[in-house]
Amino acid sequence: MAKRAGQSEMIGRRPERPRVPTLAIHVLGEIQVLKGKTLQHFPQSRKTRALLAYLVLTGRRHRRERLCDLLWDLPDDPRASLRWSLSRLRSLVDEPGQVRIYADREYVFFDAEGASVDLFNIRRELAGGANALSKQRLLDLAGQFQGELLEGLAIPDHQDFEVWLLTERETARRTRASLLQTLVNRLYIEAPEEALHHARHLVATDRYSVSAHAMLIRALVAAGRREEAEREREISKKQLSDAGEKNLAALTEALSTTRRTIPSVAALEREPEVRLTQQIRFCTTTDGVRIAYATVGEGPPLIKTANWPSGIRLGQSYLAPRVSRAGAHSPAHSI
């Protein structure tokens, strides 16, 4: 079998795949691994779960040093910890004649070929346009979201992992919001109460989106709940105003919606889903210190400071105010 340029020998020696794969990995909610219908049990190690999630969702090979730096500290013997986690993951995802975890002295790789990953399956179906899917298929896809991406998983002492996880969760949130928006539009006229149910989920998913709040108000009007729609408008106005949003005319316009004037998806001014990427920037504190920081996402600034390297740990209370003033006009920051 020919291998792609740059891949190590571990990728080139894959065994043949069975025709009917049985491995399913769920990341929309708490991470779960199933073989057939049997739920596999993770070891009591957050970092082992985090390692599998990172290998699966990035979809590429990684150097061992990178994985060690991402999840372990020097006192933990990172290489030994990585070997231990990989051995546990093999028992979870490998099957007879079907190896998933490939590792050599330099690289580690998760082979997802033939496996089912819920988030990837949904993105594949939405790639051709959500409007092309049937109502029932949209309902089925929406039902696969059982919580936020990798719910409950956090490695707070490892900021590189946390920044990656934040970005992945935001991208998954946008996928869900786009799906729900299409579904609510599809249900407005024929099933207004069902549309209302999903509109509430949309606002919970995209709570700082004016268009999401406007859709909920329209759904309430379409369901004949005018007074509740008016109360919702006031609640939405306050929530969005507190978040810094000034253009709230769509909330009032939504109250005048009738079941014959429900706008199309294209008219809702929803920006297309994008995969978020970090932008590396620089700023200077008031005492002349030059700092590199990364920005990701949008909305009111949210500053998260990383841990300082061992030996030069400084009090965050000293630096945070200076960085806050330097980055006050930027999007959400992870420093």
What average pLDDT score do residues 74-88 get?
Answer: 92
Separation of alpha carbons 70 and 332, rounded Å: 22
Q: Indicate whether 159 and 112 sit together in one domain.
A: no
What average pLDDT score do residues 176-189 get?
Answer: 93
274 is a domain residue: no
Q: Indicate whether 203 and 251 sit together in one domain.
A: yes
81 is a domain residue: yes
Check whether 305 has a pLDDT greater than 80: no
Check whether 163 has a pLDDT greater than 70: yes
Closest CA to 219 of 259, 174, 173: 259
Check whether 183 has a pLDDT greater than 50: yes
* Least confidently predicted of 26-30, 97-101, 230-234: 97-101
Per-residue pLDDT tens digits for 108-140: 999 999 899 999 999 999 998 998 999 999 999
The residue out of 247, 268, 289 marking a domain boundary is 268
> The domain spanning residue 50 has which CATH number?
1.10.10.10
For residue 294, list its beta bridge partners.
280, 334
pLDDT confidence of residue 314? 33
Q: Indicate whether 15 and 109 sit together in one domain.
A: yes
* Least confidently predicted of 38-52, 215-229, 294-308: 294-308
125 is a domain residue: no
Check whether 277 has a pLDDT greater than 50: yes
pLDDT confidence of residue 306? 54
Separation of alpha carbons 23 and 18, rounded Å: 11
229 is a domain residue: yes
Q: Indicate whether 258 and 294 sit together in one domain.
A: no
Q: Indicate whether 174 and 243 sit together in one domain.
A: yes
Q: Indicate whether 158 and 228 sit together in one domain.
A: yes
Q: Indicate whether 13 and 81 sit together in one domain.
A: yes
Confidence of residue 21 (pLDDT cuts 50, 70, 90): low
273 is a domain residue: no
Closest CA to 273 of 168, 159, 177, 167: 177
What average pLDDT score do residues 56-61 get?
Answer: 96
Confidence of residue 312 (pLDDT cuts 50, 70, 90): very low
Let me know: does 59 contact 111? Beta carbons within 8 Å: no
* Least confidently predicted of 1-15, 66-80, 248-262, 310-324: 310-324
Separation of alpha carbons 34 and 260, rounded Å: 46
What average pLDDT score do residues 56-81 get?
Answer: 94
Query: Mean pLDDT for the chain?
Result: 82
> Which tokens is 116 given?
């089912």
> The domain spanning residue 247 has which CATH number?
1.25.40
177 is a domain residue: yes
What average pLDDT score do residues 312-317 get?
Answer: 34
64 is a domain residue: yes
Q: Indicate whether 235 and 295 sit together in one domain.
A: no
pLDDT confidence of residue 233? 96
Q: Indicate whether 97 and 220 sit together in one domain.
A: no
1 is a domain residue: no
Look at the pTM and tell me if it is higher than 0.95: no
Per-residue pLDDT tens digits for 33-58: 999 999 999 988 999 999 999 999 99
Per-residue pLDDT tens digits for 205-219: 999 999 999 999 999
pLDDT confidence of residue 256? 86
**Containing structural domain, residue 300:** 279-334
Check whether 274 has a pLDDT greater than 50: no
**How many separate domains does the chain show?**
3
Let me know: does 283 contact 316? Beta carbons within 8 Å: no
Check whether 232 has a pLDDT greater than 70: yes
pLDDT confidence of residue 166? 96
Q: Indicate whether 110 and 49 sit together in one domain.
A: yes
Query: What is the share, in percent, of the chain residues with pLDDT greater than 90?
Result: 64
Q: Indicate whether 175 and 242 sit together in one domain.
A: yes
